[in-house]
Structure 1
Amino acid sequence: MALGATMFSFAVDLADVDRGVYEHLDLRVARHPSETSDFMLTRLLAYLLEYQEGIAFSEGGVSSTGEPAVLVRDLTGRITAWIEVGAPDADRVHRGSKLAGRAAVYTHRDPKKVRMQLVGKGIHKAEEIPVYSFDSHFIDAAVAAIERRNTFTLSITERELYLDLNGSVLSTAVAELQLS
């Protein structure tokens, strides 16, 4: 019998000063059995940093081969942003950039290695695709604080994250590399 996804609840207070986004969100995040906690947290952070009307986690999550971890659709259902997490292959990033017009990668891995596996692979508009990363100590500490039910306060100012996760207070800069 196949293992099912583990559900996590996040009561999120989001204050993204950089973009003027202030929201309270109640999110249920499914962690697929093959997904690491680091990946799930990075997927959640990508969702929050990209938050806008029409954003969603993909239905297949980490096991989906046809969609990114996070996507944004307009009112007609057309994908307008393709957000990959982890270390996606070049074909997925290329497809997303062509389909959505805007793509980004968020990673919990070494961003230079992720970038190097994508550079020179003929990715559509590669010069416009950012690779965002977080300090590994921040990810480790945040993962250690995750419970099944979570209170999550995230403030973003000048691409610096300030996180209160179940009473653990953490911060990190969001590093950005370009593919080209």
Structure 2
Amino acid sequence: MALKSTIFKFQLQISDLDRHYYAEHALTLARHPSETDERLVARVLAFGRIADEGIDMTSALCEPDEPDLCIKTLDGRIQHWIDVGQPDARRVLKAAGRADRVTIHPYGGPTSSLWWEGVRKELLRVRKLDVIAFPEAAVKQLAKSVERTCQWQITVQDGEMMVTTGSDCVSLTPDTWREMST
């Protein structure tokens, strides 16, 4: 018998002072049995960092040709493809062919650095790619506070993210490894 996904509900209050974006979002996320709390947190952080009225969580773990998050245009074209973790170079190249912009959010500390060194040379030619890593320590700290129902406040100012959970306040500065060429 296959294991079922666990449902998590996040009530996010996002205040992005850098982009002047202020909104509340109610997310219902299914955590696949193979997904860790750290990866779930990385998905929520990516959502909070790039939040937009058109942003959508997808079922990427079940649908390998889908991003973890995306922003689509009104006609259904993928404007911004967002993945968390360490996707292989072929997946990133394919995403770049389907979207106007691609952002990867690694979150695994030294293993993410090794991943980036392995794919960097091949991906440097992708002009519309951002690689922005979440600090492993902050992701792990936030993963400890994850419950089936969470209320988080995410404030973004000068590139720094402040995440307030019911029991904790975590400050993190995503590390830009590569910025999109214009």
Same fold by TM (over 0.5)?
yes
Aligned to 1:120: 121
Aligned to 1:102: 101
Task: Tell me the SS of whatever aligns to 2:121.
Answer: coil
Aligned to 1:146: 146
Q: For residue 146 of structure 1, report the CA deviation from its aligned partner.
A: 0.8
Q: Contact 1:118–1:179 (CA<8 Å) still a contact in 2?
A: no
Aligned to 1:70: 69
Mind listing any 5+ residue stretches in structure 2 that lack a counterpart? none
Mind listing any 5+ residue stretches in structure 1 that lack a counterpart? none
Number of aligned positions between the proteins: 178
Distance in 1, Cα, partners of 2:134 & 2:75: 33
Aligned to 2:82: 83
Whichever residue aligns with residue 118 of structure 1, its letter is: V
Whichever residue aligns with residue 60 of structure 2, its letter is: G
Aligned to 1:166: 166
TM-score (norm 2): 0.91
TM-score (norm 1): 0.92
Distance in 2, Cα, partners of 1:116 & 1:150: 35
Distance in 2, Cα, partners of 1:48 & 1:113: 26
Q: Percent identity over the alignment?
A: 26
Q: Contact 2:96–2:128 (CA<8 Å) still a contact in 1?
A: no
Distance in 2, Cα, partners of 1:62 & 1:109: 18
Whichever residue aligns with residue 70 of structure 1, its letter is: L
Q: Contact 1:128–1:178 (CA<8 Å) still a contact in 2?
A: no
Task: Tell me the SS of whatever aligns to 1:61.
Answer: coil
Distance in 1, Cα, partners of 2:179 & 2:155: 27
Distance in 1, Cα, partners of 2:40 & 2:10: 12
Q: Contact 2:161–2:173 (CA<8 Å) still a contact in 1?
A: yes
Decide whether aligned partners of structure 1 residues 124 and 81 sit closer, same or farther in structure 2, where only a CA change above 3 A counts: farther
Q: For residue 167 of structure 1, report the CA deviation from its aligned partner.
A: 2.4
Distance in 1, Cα, partners of 2:179 & 2:36: 25
Task: Tell me the SS of whatever aligns to 1:63.
Answer: coil
Aligned to 2:57: 57
Task: Tell me the SS of whatever aligns to 2:61.
Answer: helix
RMSD: 1.7
Distance in 2, Cα, partners of 1:18 & 1:90: 30
Q: For residue 125 of structure 1, report the CA deviation from its aligned partner.
A: 4.9
Decide whether aligned partners of structure 1 residues 125 and 101 sit closer, same or farther in structure 2, where only a CA change above 3 A counts: farther
